[in-house]
Structure 1
Amino acid sequence: MTTVPHFATDLDRVARQIRAALSSLMLAAGLDPSDPQSMARRWGLNRQLSWKVVKVIQLRDAYVALQHLPGNEGLGIILKRAEQAGVAAALLAQVRQAAGTFDELIETHCGDRAVFDIMGSGLSQVDQALQQQENQRKQFFLGASSIWGAQAKVNFASWYVGPTAGETTIAGQVDLVNIKAWIGFRRLRENLSWVMSRQMSRHDSGDSMAIGAPEALDLRSSSDVPLLHDFCTDPVPQFSLRAEGGRTTVSLDPGPVGNAGQLSCVFGKILRRMPHVRSEADRLSRFMNYLNVPSEVAIVDLFVHKSIADVMPPSVTLSSLIELHEQDPERSRLPLNDPLIELGIPAPAPLTLEVPRYAEMFDLVMTRMNWAAEDFVGYRLKMNYPPLPAALVMRYELPEAP
């Protein structure tokens, strides 16, 4: 009796075979299969090509992993570099054979790549969970917009961690830059005021941390309301300030409703000489985008200097702000299936269509701080219709004191 091939079984087998072959090749060449920049640094490969290989190795979802498999040209470049590095011919042949099984899988079960995508995505647990969550969050977005009386197209935050002024590496202290933006904010009810940001730093325990006063990234702005004037809509939005209990709250003033009053506001601030070593009070460094307005898209970017690349990538969570537990984040964790995106070296700045003039904002930070883009690596978390009140959080372990 002839055995009928089973697509799901063969898909998993092919992914495991390719994953094992690529991992063995990297290890034989003295490369780290968990480091997206390993091939780029040692072999001078395109960063995107190196990133794809590591994604194939790391991702457990067979369909999603194979989506990252380089084509014949990319694999040819990798195998040529591996041969030049002295990798055994048997391992090179193993990679070729494993890649060939992917072509055989498509031919046997699908006929072409388009049909493979239809069949594979139907099996992908990641895609299913993402789609289910997004559909539920979209309904929440529509309801929250109606109840709260406001919405935004994009809720965006980017963080930069670099050497203090005059230094070339990070050692004990850092300078931080934060850009916070609401793009396409609309009031849906009259006389509506809205909190744009709250300035407060905390220790791991949740206790308030005393820090120096921030500087405005835009020299024309005050540190209290550090608007990036060139990136805000005209006329510049008006804000009210309230300071209490060591926390400064900036609120958007009431204004016209609907499209007539649609606006974009962008803040940019600098925090100088922030401590960046592990201590009894602090083990982690956290970077957040607070989700406090119904939004179609939320994005948080983190760019860190290459001198701390060994503690990357950051971990990512979605945390409830209804009951945020600083010491036990698992107690306030919400479901998050959206993946961390590795942006690599941001030279040029990553294409970000959701945020107008993103590259200009990025260049402004680099110029103002006297940093070089090629000295940084970037990470992004992007979520459609995020829940609220919540926070998208990136965190990493602080280094030990020198």
Structure 2
Amino acid sequence: MVQSSTQFHSNDDFSHEAVICVRQAQAAFADLLSGAGLEGARPTEIGRILGLDKTLAWKVSKFSDSSDLLKAVKHIPGSGGVEIVLKAAQAKGVDSNRILAVRDADRVFRDFVRNRAGDRRSFEAMLAAGGRDDKIELEERKAFYQSGSAIWGVRAKVQFLTLCIKPSIDNPDRLDMLQLSGFMKFERLRSDVPWIIRRLWHSDTETTPNMEFKRAPLCPEASTGTSLPLIPEFCSQPLPEINQFVGTDGVIYDELAPGIVGKHGSLDCVTGEHYRSALPRYWSEDNTFGRYELMLRTPVEHVVFDVFIHESLTNFGEFSHSIYGLLEGRPSSGEGKSHDRPVHEAQRAQFLGAPPIVQASHIGIYPGLINYAFDRAQWGSLSEFRGYRCVVEYPATPWCLTMECPISKE
């Protein structure tokens, strides 16, 4: 039997001890089931023979059979459930040594969890540190979203950002860009909560401001000056009420005003802008890749980030996406910057085709919105573009979602 200890020196020590604790508990449960004539039995049979409810029978079966350590831990019954199982096994005449082995292994496991992690959720997070379980992490992020919504008093079904990039009509060495963004089914859970949805500033390097490019709303009749460039045709009606103010840092902030709570106050807020000569087109020593960022600060269920690249930009490579945390407030440049410590390492973005298939399951207006933007900007057809997409469910805000591609020297 493994004895719990508080003397450990590395994560490898923790992982090794955790494996022993969990595997011993699994072996003891499997031996118990064997003693009851239930070796390899299905959960329904375990429940019927031992008189257990279906949830507890399912946990016992999955825990004792799982070869995946993380999945096994998710199914360990609580201490009360373990005692129910042991009493049922005793009533079926299972040998007392097998019952004692389960009780001892369960005690060692719980002592280990308490001494090393404090609680089960923390233990599972520590156990997953060496390799992520996507299903478990998604469950955790969903719980984070639900808690965040309740705490902050807002939530949305979807947040999206779409960037369309082509050679500039004004300068052959620069790029023009269409930017579409917004929230779908944004809801307030408290009526007194305003929520910032845009911070207006720009830089073309990590530290140097650049306002040389030209920017214009796609729907100028609905937007003046620095106001949020709403596209009324794709927003909910009446239009979302927007407040704007300038912070002491000189940044212009746009916020959704307080309003009706719940589904009756649900709103869609869609914006669009046209940037001319916004970005450098060709490779240089300080322009070796294209990086485009979406800041995620709102509790949302789904995030969709698309980039459409004109077919003539053959020096732009395939896109990947990464996630960086903003909670620490790390510097944006220099030593220790946030991009040195990704929450999720770069993964290849989904290729949408050339021409791209633009449908998005959570944004019904999306194809119409893209066509509207191209018509307004007089950009011709999307058939001249290739597309890339990243979709994230329940982002653990605040996050920075990045789409990036190499720029070659051709």
Question: TM (normalized to structure 1)?
Answer: 0.62
**Aligned residue among 369, 374, 396 for 1:387:** 396
Alpha-carbon distance between aligned partners in 2 of 1:246 and 1:283, rounded to the nearest angstrom: 30
| 2:196–2:255 CA contact under 8 A, matched in 1 | yes
Per-residue Cα deviation, 1:130-151 (whole angstroms, up to 9, x for no partner) = 2222111111101111111110
Pair 1:344 & 2:343 matched: no
**Aligned residue among 239, 259, 265 for 1:255:** 259
Go from structure 1 to structure 2 and tell me whether the alpha carbon gap of 1:346 and 1:250 turns closer, same or farther (over 3 Å shift): farther
**Aligned residue among 361, 370, 390 for 1:362:** 370
Alpha-carbon distance between aligned partners in 2 of 1:283 and 1:208, rounded to the nearest angstrom: 19
Where in structure 2 are there 5+ consecutive unaligned residues? Answer: 1-130
1:83-162 superposed matches below 5 A: 129-162=133-166
Deviation at 1:307, TM superposition (A): 1.6
1:164-179 superposed matches below 5 A: 164-165=168-169, 171-179=172-180
- Counterpart of 1:333, as a letter, is P
1:283-362 superposed matches below 5 A: 283-322=288-327, 323-327=329-333, 328-335=337-344, 340-346=349-355, 349-362=357-370
Alpha-carbon distance between aligned partners in 2 of 1:202 and 1:264, rounded to the nearest angstrom: 28
Which has the greater radius of gyration? 2
Match of 1:235 in 2: 238
Per-residue Cα deviation, 1:270-300 (whole angstroms, up to 9, x for no partner) = 1111231445654433222221110010110
| 1:289–1:299 CA contact under 8 A, matched in 2 | no
- Counterpart of 1:362, as a letter, is I
SS at structure 1 position matched to 2:213: coil
Q: Identical aligned pairs, as a percentage?
A: 24
Match of 2:209 in 1: 208
Go from structure 1 to structure 2 and tell me whether the alpha carbon gap of 1:390 and 1:208 turns closer, same or farther (over 3 Å shift): farther
- Counterpart of 2:141, as a letter, is R
Go from structure 1 to structure 2 and tell me whether the alpha carbon gap of 1:313 and 1:365 turns closer, same or farther (over 3 Å shift): same
SS at structure 1 position matched to 2:364: coil
| 2:321–2:347 CA contact under 8 A, matched in 1 | no
Alpha-carbon distance between aligned partners in 2 of 1:221 and 1:286, rounded to the nearest angstrom: 30
| 2:320–2:348 CA contact under 8 A, matched in 1 | no
Match of 1:98 in 2: none
Match of 2:121 in 1: none
Alpha-carbon distance between aligned partners in 2 of 1:181 and 1:346, rounded to the nearest angstrom: 24
| 2:293–2:403 CA contact under 8 A, matched in 1 | yes
Alpha-carbon distance between aligned partners in 1 of 2:279 and 2:315, rounded to the nearest angstrom: 18
Go from structure 1 to structure 2 and tell me whether the alpha carbon gap of 1:376 and 1:198 turns closer, same or farther (over 3 Å shift): same
| 2:214–2:277 CA contact under 8 A, matched in 1 | no
Alpha-carbon distance between aligned partners in 2 of 1:341 and 1:173, rounded to the nearest angstrom: 26
Where in structure 1 are there 5+ consecutive unaligned residues? Answer: 1-126
Deviation at 1:165, TM superposition (A): 3.0
Alpha-carbon distance between aligned partners in 2 of 1:206 and 1:316, rounded to the nearest angstrom: 22
Deviation at 1:308, TM superposition (A): 1.7
Q: What root-mean-square deviation, in Å, do the aligned CA atoms of Structure 1 and Structure 2 show?
A: 2.5
Go from structure 1 to structure 2 and tell me whether the alpha carbon gap of 1:211 and 1:315 turns closer, same or farther (over 3 Å shift): farther
Deviation at 1:313, TM superposition (A): 1.1
Question: TM (normalized to structure 2)?
Answer: 0.61
Deviation at 1:181, TM superposition (A): 1.1
Alpha-carbon distance between aligned partners in 1 of 2:151 and 2:348, rounded to the nearest angstrom: 30
